[in-house]
Structure 1
Amino acid sequence: MLLDRLKAYPQIGRIFVQIERYRTLGKNSLWVFAAQLLIWSGGFLLSVIYAHYLPKDSLGTLQFVFGIMGVLSLASLPGFGTAIIQSTARGHRGTFRRGVKLSFICSVVVAFGLLVAGGWYYLAREDATLAYMFVAAGCVFPFYTGLTLWRSDATGLRRYSLLVLVNGVTIFISTSTAFVFLYMGYRDVPILFLISTLTISICNIVMSVLALREVPPDAEPEPGSVKYGVSTTLYSAVNNVGNHADSILLFTFLSPEAVAVYYIANRIPELFKDFFQQLRNVLIPELAKKSRLTLALKRKLNLLSLALFVFSLCIIAVLPFAFRVIYPEGYANSVIYCQLIMLSVAFANFTIIQKSFIEARLDRISIRNITLISSSCRLVLSVVLVPFYGIAGAVGSTIVYRLIAFGYVNYLVRRAAARDEG
Structure 2
Amino acid sequence: MTRHRLILAILAGLAALPAQAAPDTLALHCGALFDARAGKLLDAHTVVVREGRIAEVRDGRAVVPEAEVIDLSAHTCSPGWTDLHVHLGSQSSPQSYSEGFRLDPVDYAFRAVGYAEKTLLAGFTSVRDLGGEVAPHLRDAIGQGLVKGPRIFAAGKSIATTGGHADPTNGINDRLAHLIGPPGPTEGVVNSPDDARQAVRQRYKDGSDVIKITATGGVLSYAKSGDAPQFTVDEVRVIVDTAKDYGYRVAAHAHGEEGMYRAVTGGVTSIEHGTYMSDRVVKAMKERGTWYVPTVYAGRFVADKARIDGYFPPVVRPKAERIGALIQETAGRAWRAGVKIAFGTDMGVGPHGDNAREFIYMVEAGIPAAYALQAATVHAAEVLGVDDQGVIEVGKRADIVAVPGDPLADISVVMDVSFVMKDGVVYRRP
Q: Same fold (TM over 0.5)?
A: no
Structure with greater proportional helix content = 1
Tell me the TM-score normalised to structure 2 length: 0.24
Tell me the TM-score normalised to structure 1 length: 0.25
Larger Rg: 1
